[in-house]
């Protein structure tokens, strides 16, 4: 499917291929390390993690243990080839510590600037599930060392498809309406390695993705609403893809930046009634700037509700429920780099399996983030 989208993008750009091309690029990097200081689980868990341990990035299988690790480190490059005022192609590659720094093609898409307010894009892009989805690899753009795992972390991160982005203004307000559609297949899904044998390939497919996000900005405030649906299926080693089940996701977020104070709040709800039940997640951050230093506090919750009758025969004892409170410090080295430190307190209220494999944990992490 990915190849088909890229071929289609190439055909669209064929008429302008003979014109002069303007190339531009930029990059980002995070040198991020951390370790778990204490926790309720000791020794190797069922997944082979040396506990006490704590999940920092579900999507990329980022896990801190009782030894210093650099799973959250990454470096990336993004380049754009602009053919004229209407047509361009953008690509992004990323090398992650959680993947042994193997280089991965994250995005590649073609853009057609229809007019001053509308752009149509075709190719591989980030699914806009969350407020920081598009820049979640760029640590310099947000206050945390690692994004709150209670909200940020899902089986699918990118998608192959198309989106239409419309910019609007109304009085003192301005914003974006973005609609998107496509599909995503991950044959070796790092997310599943949080729960299943990490030495085997576990597949995830989101098909018939369709969604929209609405963003509104005025002065110091920005709000965002998102809704998406898809048909989800999975594949275990040696088996065929499971029958698809419907997923519906709702998201809301708000950000306020006034004077020396900064706040960010995010709410996420997933309805997976056809498979197991529902998911609720939120995170709230409040921070204060003092010169080049920012001190912030964050609290997040993830709660899974298991339906009594579900095809996987799960019970409430299989539910995943946890909270995390974080204290974050950030120092602005210059306009393009920052140093951050973060203390996390993870409180696990899950059922037996998750609590016995991860459980409570307290950790410290740091990062040097830079854009260039």
State pLDDT tens for residues 119-143.
Answer: 999 999 999 999 999 999 999 999 9
What is the reported pLDDT for 14? 52
C-alpha to C-alpha distance for 306 and 274, rounded to whole angstroms: 11
C-alpha to C-alpha distance for 24 and 76, rounded to whole angstroms: 14
Architecture of domain 31-73+114-371: Beta Barrel (2.40)
- Residue 31: C-alpha distances to residues 71, 75, 179, 340 (Å): 10, 8, 34, 10
Which tokens belong to 134? 């598009």
What is the reported pLDDT for 20? 86
Task: Please confirm whether the linkage preceding 52 is cis (ω < 30° from 0).
Answer: yes
What is the reported pLDDT for 153? 84
What is the reported pLDDT for 2? 47
Strand partners for 290: 293
What is the reported pLDDT for 19? 63
**Which residues of the chain fall below pLDDT 50?**
1-6, 8-9, 12, 16-17
């Amino acid at each position: 499917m990915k190849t088909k989208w890229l071929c289609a993008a190439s055909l669209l750009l064929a008429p302008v291929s003979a014109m002069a091309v303007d190339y531009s690029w930029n990059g980002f990097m995070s040198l991020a390390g951390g370790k778990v200081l204490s926790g309720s689980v000791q020794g190797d868990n069922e997944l082979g993690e040396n506990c006490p341990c704590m999940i920092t990035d579900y999507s990329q299988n980022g896990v801190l243990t009782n030894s210093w690790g650099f799973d959250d480190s990454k470096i990336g490059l993004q380049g754009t080839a602009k053919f004229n005022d209407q047509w361009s192609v953008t690509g992004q590659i990323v090398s992650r510590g959680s993947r042994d720094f193997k280089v991965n093609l994250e995005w590649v898409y073609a853009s057609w600037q229809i007019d001053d307010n509308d752009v149509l894009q075709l190719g591989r892009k980030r699914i806009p599930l969350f407020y920081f989805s598009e820049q979640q690899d760029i640590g310099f753009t947000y206050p945390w060392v690692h994004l709150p795992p209670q909200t940020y972390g899902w089986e699918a991160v990118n998608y192959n498809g198309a989106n239409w982005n419309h910019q609007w203004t109304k009085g003192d307000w301005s914003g974006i309406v973005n609609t998107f559609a496509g599909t995503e297949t991950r044959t070796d899904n790092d997310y599943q390695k949080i729960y299943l044998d990490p030495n085997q390939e576990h597949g995830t497919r989101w098909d018939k993705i369709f969604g929209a996000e609405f963003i509104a900005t005025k002065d110091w405030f920005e709000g965002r609403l998102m809704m998406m649906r898809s048909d989800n299926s999975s594949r275990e080693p040696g088996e065929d893809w499971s029958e698809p089940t419907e997923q519906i996701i709702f998201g809301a977020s708000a950000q306020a930046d006034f004077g020396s104070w900064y706040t960010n709040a995010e709410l996420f709800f997933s309805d997976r009634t056809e498979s197991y039940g529902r998911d609720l997640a939120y995170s709230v951050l409040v921070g204060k700037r003092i010169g080049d230093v920012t001190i912030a506090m964050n609290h997040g919750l993830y709660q899974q509700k298991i339906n009594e009758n579900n095809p996987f025969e799960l019970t409430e004892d299989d539910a995943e429920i946890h909270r995390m409170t974080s204290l974050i410090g950030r120092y602005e080295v210059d306009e393009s780099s920052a140093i951050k430190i973060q203390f996390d307190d993870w409180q696990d209220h899950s059922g037996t399996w998750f609590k016995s494999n991860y459980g409570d944990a307290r950790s410290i992490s740091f990062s040097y983030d830079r854009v260039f």
